């Protein structure tokens, strides 16, 4: 039977090439055939969901070393029900009453430098369960005494976030964080959405760890919660009958997440990394032929086995802005989406983890199409070479002055978020 539904044509016409990484807003992952087939098996039968989640628990325990686990709708919902579990424990009435809070309010501690937005704000998860976020230390410096003093009788949990978005230096190390929390009987919940190591946090005595099923695991949209049996039971209760009911996950995604874990267990990870690196090197050698780009290899900041390319525009060759180049790549056909988190720091990245066969070639040719435009934007006359790369220039009196178009803290974003939201998303026009 080859009767395609209209949506299948739509997909074919609108697919993107993603060199940005596993982004929820781009559909997260390429789901491999063997996972898709496992999901297909679940679609035309009935399954006891509790039994299926018990099977998930067994698989999660085996892979992570945790006592138990369950599948949630995504990491974000997993964080919510993990926090909810640490508030209600085995008290069903308390679970059903959330997020209504009795005063004084429950508190969740987290490092100030961890309270980031990964797309959604971390502290919102805490508010959603009726608790109050208590930030520890300053953005770039945290001392153990600050955590010790922040923990009170009202502290119900501590949240630890692993992400390239968090501050990467000057904070407490994980073991110290866990040891202070545990000596005060506070459970530690870890947001490890994008982390490849499924065992390290449990080994280091985290109480609950949440991974995304649809990032590096390549599963369908889902979250993997692993941890202490009592907390997992309570989190699952929240998902089934409590605050997490509106975030529940269905059979197709539970089966898909289990399949993704089982595939991960059997996979040749080194071979995959090698393939991804070869694709990256192919793109790098293609881009090296393009005048005006500065290209560097960049290791993943949280320790995942990913090498990315860090790309900036050589101001000696072109005065094009990075956003213009990003826009050119995005507007073409097919659309190429780069990793643009750090564009206000003067670079973007290329991530090789989500490419289909042949995509690397398309990425290079799309860059080549942008080359003419790149070279047309002639460079701003630069001064003596012996001053080296810098954001500053010198005025007529010879005094240093900042070029506001280039310096990160002056960087004007293309569009204010507020502006963008008025008409969001722009494609919603009928
Ligand atoms: C992606 C991400 C999330 C959200 O993950 P979902 O599974 O899409 O909900 C949360 N935290 C961090 C650090 C992330 O990178």
Domain spans, the chain: 31-266, 383-430
Q: Which residues of the chain have pLDDT under 70?
A: 1-2, 102-103, 381-385, 413-415
354-358 own/partner pairs: CB under 8 Å, 24+ apart:
354/18, 354/19, 354/20, 354/21, 354/22, 354/29, 354/30, 355/17, 355/18, 355/19, 355/276, 355/279, 356/30
Q: Which two tokens stand for residue 154?
A: 């009202």
Q: Kindly write down the DSSP assignment for every residue of 331-376, as one continuous string.
A: HSSS-EEEB-TTGGGT-EEE--TT--TTHHHHHHHHHHHHHHHHHH
CB 83 within 8 A of CB 260: no
Residues written for the chain: 430
CA-proximal residue: ligand 1, atom 12 (nearest)? 193
**How far is the centre of ligand 1, averaged over its atoms, from the C-alpha of 164 (Å)?**
11
**What are the backbone dihedrals phi and psi of residue 392, each rounded to the nearest 5 degrees, phi first?**
-95, 165
Query: Half-sphere exposure of residue 135, counting CA atoms within 13 Å on the CB side?
Result: 13
**How far is the centre of ligand 1, averaged over its atoms, from the C-alpha of 78 (Å)?**
10
Q: Is 223 helix (H, G, I), strand (E, B) or coil?
A: strand
**Distance (Å, rounded) from C-alpha 302 to C-alpha 171?**
14
**How far is the centre of ligand 1, averaged over its atoms, from the C-alpha of 213 (Å)?**
10
pLDDT of amino acid 306: 96
Instruction: Indicate if the alpha-carbon torsion angle 184, 189, 194, 200 is positive or negative.
Output: positive
CA-proximal residue: ligand 1, atom 13 (nearest)? 163
Instruction: Count other Cβ atoms within 10 Å, centred on residue 308.
Output: 23
pLDDT of amino acid 414: 63
Closest CA to 108 of 39, 211, 208, 29: 208
Residues in CB range of 185: below 8 A, 6 or more apart: none
**What are the backbone dihedrals phi and psi of residue 80, each rounded to the nearest 5 degrees, phi first?**
-60, -50
Q: Which atom of ligand 1 is nearest to the CA of 28?
A: 8
Residues in CB range of 239: below 8 A, 6 or more apart: 70, 72, 77, 81, 245, 247, 248, 249
**How far is the centre of ligand 1, averaged over its atoms, from the C-alpha of 76 (Å)?**
6
pLDDT of amino acid 2: 67
Q: Is 276 helix (H, G, I), strand (E, B) or coil?
A: helix
Query: Half-sphere exposure of residue 353, counting CA atoms within 13 Å on the CB side?
Result: 24
**Distance (Å, rounded) from C-alpha 361 to C-alpha 367?**
10
Check residue 379 and report its DSSP letter.
P
31-266 CATH, one of 3.40.50.1820, 3.40.50.800, 3.40.640.10, 2.40.30.110:
3.40.640.10
Instruction: Count other Cβ atoms within 10 Å, centred on residue 44.
Output: 6
Of 20, 162, 212, 304, the residue with max ligand 1 atoms within 8 A of its CB, to mutate for a pocket test, comes to 212
Q: What is the pTM of this model?
A: 0.94
Query: Looking up tokens 């993603």, which residue turns up?
Result: 18
Q: Is 119 helix (H, G, I), strand (E, B) or coil?
A: coil
**How far is the centre of ligand 1, averaged over its atoms, from the C-alpha of 196 (Å)?**
13
Q: Which atom of ligand 1 is nearest to the CA of 79?
A: 10
**How far is the centre of ligand 1, averaged over its atoms, from the C-alpha of 6 (Å)?**
31
Helix (H) or strand (E) holding 233: helix 229-241
Query: Looking up tokens 């059903």, which residue turns up?
Result: 96
Q: Which residues line ligand 1 (CB under 6 A)?
A: 24, 74-76, 118, 161, 163, 191, 193-194, 212, 223
Classify residue 39 by burial, with Cβ atoms within 10 Å: 0-12, 13-18, 19+.
Answer: buried
pLDDT of amino acid 206: 98
């Amino acid at each position: 039977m080859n009767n395609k539904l209209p949506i299948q044509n739509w997909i074919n016409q609108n697919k993107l090439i993603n060199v940005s990484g596993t982004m929820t807003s781009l559909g997260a992952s390429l789901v491999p055939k063997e996972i898709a087939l496992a999901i297909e098996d679940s679609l035309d039968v009935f399954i006891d969901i509790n039994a299926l989640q018990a099977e998930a628990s067994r698989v999660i325990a085996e892979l992570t070393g945790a006592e138990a686990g369950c599948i949630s709708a995504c990491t974000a919902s997993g964080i919510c029900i993990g926090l909810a579990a640490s508030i209600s424990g085995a008290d069903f009435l308390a679970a059903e009453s959330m997020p209504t809070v009795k005063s004084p309010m429950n508190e969740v501690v987290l490092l100030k430098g961890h309270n980031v937005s990964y797309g959604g704000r971390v502290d919102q998860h805490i508010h959603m369960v009726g608790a109050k976020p208590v930030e520890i230390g300053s953005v770039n410096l945290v001392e153990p005494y600050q955590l010790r003093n922040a923990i009170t009788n009202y502290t119900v949990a501590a949240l630890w976030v692993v992400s390239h978005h968090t501050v990467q230096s000057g904070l407490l190390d994980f073991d110290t964080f866990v040891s202070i929390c545990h000596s005060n009987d506070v459970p530690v919940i870890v947001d490890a959405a994008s982390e490849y190591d499924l065992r390290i946090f449990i080994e280091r005595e985290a109480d609950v760890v949440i991974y995304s099923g649809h990032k590096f695991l390549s599963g369908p949209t889902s979250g993997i919660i692993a941890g202490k049996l009592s907390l997992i039971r309570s989190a699952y209760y929240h998902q089934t009958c409590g605050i997490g009911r509106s975030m529940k996950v269905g059979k197709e995604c539970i089966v898909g997440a289990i399949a993704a874990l089982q595939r991960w267990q059997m996979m040749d990870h080194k071979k995959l990394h090698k393939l991804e690196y070869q694709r990256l090197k192919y793109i790098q050698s293609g881009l090296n032929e393009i005048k005006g780009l500065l290209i560097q290899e960049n290791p993943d900041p949280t320790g995942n086995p990913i090498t990315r390319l860090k790309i900036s525009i050589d101001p000696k060759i072109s005065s094009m802005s990075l956003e213009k180049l990003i826009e050119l790549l995005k507007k073409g056909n097919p659309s190429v989406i780069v990793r643009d988190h750090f564009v206000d720091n003067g670079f973007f990245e290329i991530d090789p983890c989500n490419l289909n066969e042949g995509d690397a070639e398309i990425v290079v040719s799309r860059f080549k199409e942008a080359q003419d435009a790149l070279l047309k934007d002639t460079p701003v006359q630069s001064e003596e070479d012996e001053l080296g790369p810098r954001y500053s220039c010198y005025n007529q009196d010879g005094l240093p002055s900042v070029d506001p178009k280039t310096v990160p803290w002056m960087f004007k974003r293309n569009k204010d978020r507020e502006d963008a939201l008025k008409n969001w998303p722009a494609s919603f026009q009928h």
